[in-house]
């Protein structure tokens, strides 16, 4: 499958990217090479191959989800530079 310059320009416009004509030519060639390689992969006979969802057999061990007593508001606010009405007061960043 070949990719046209118009396809590359369309994808670039969707991604809000601007490229020179030289870059568009380069991307057109590279994308066509990638699609040709993918097409080769589609021709491989995988009929007797079991699907693989993970490359290696690793099960992530998760901690048990238990409810614990949290910190009291006074303890937490001891770390605040400023507090107001019982909450952290932060600097206004966006006007």
pLDDT in tens, 15-26: 999 999 999 999
Q: Write down the residue that tokens 């369309």 correspond to.
A: 10
Looking at the domain assignment, is residue 36 inside a domain? yes
Give the residue numbers spanning the domain of 14: 1-60
Looking at the domain assignment, is residue 68 inside a domain? no
Looking at the domain assignment, is residue 32 inside a domain? yes
Task: Provide the CA 31 distance to its chain's centre, in angstroms.
Answer: 21
Looking at the domain assignment, is residue 46 inside a domain? yes
Looking at the domain assignment, is residue 69 inside a domain? no
The average pLDDT across 48-77 equals 85
User: Which of 34, 38, 35, 31 has the alpha carbon at shortest distance from 11?
Assistant: 31
Looking at the domain assignment, is residue 54 inside a domain? yes
**CB of 20 within 8 A of CB of 32?**
no
Task: Provide the CA 13 distance to its chain's centre, in angstroms.
Answer: 20
pLDDT at position 50 over 90? no
Residue 12 φ then ψ, to 5°: -65, -40
The total domain count for the chain is: 1
Strand residue runs (E) in 1-95: 83-84, 87-88
Does the model's pTM come out above 0.75?
no
Looking at the domain assignment, is residue 8 inside a domain? yes
Looking at the domain assignment, is residue 39 inside a domain? yes
pLDDT at position 11 over 80? yes
């Amino acid at each position: 499958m070949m990719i046209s310059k118009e396809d590359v320009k369309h994808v670039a416009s969707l991604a809000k990217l601007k490229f020179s004509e030289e870059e568009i030519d380069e991307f057109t060639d590279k994308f066509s090479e990638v699609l040709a390689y993918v097409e080769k992969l589609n021709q491989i006979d995988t009929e007797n191959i079991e699907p693989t969802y993970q490359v290696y057999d690793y099960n992530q061990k998760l901690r048990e989800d238990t409810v614990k007593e949290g910190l009291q508001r006074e303890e937490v606010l001891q770390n605040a530079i400023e507090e107001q009405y019982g909450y952290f007061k932060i600097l206004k960043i966006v006007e």
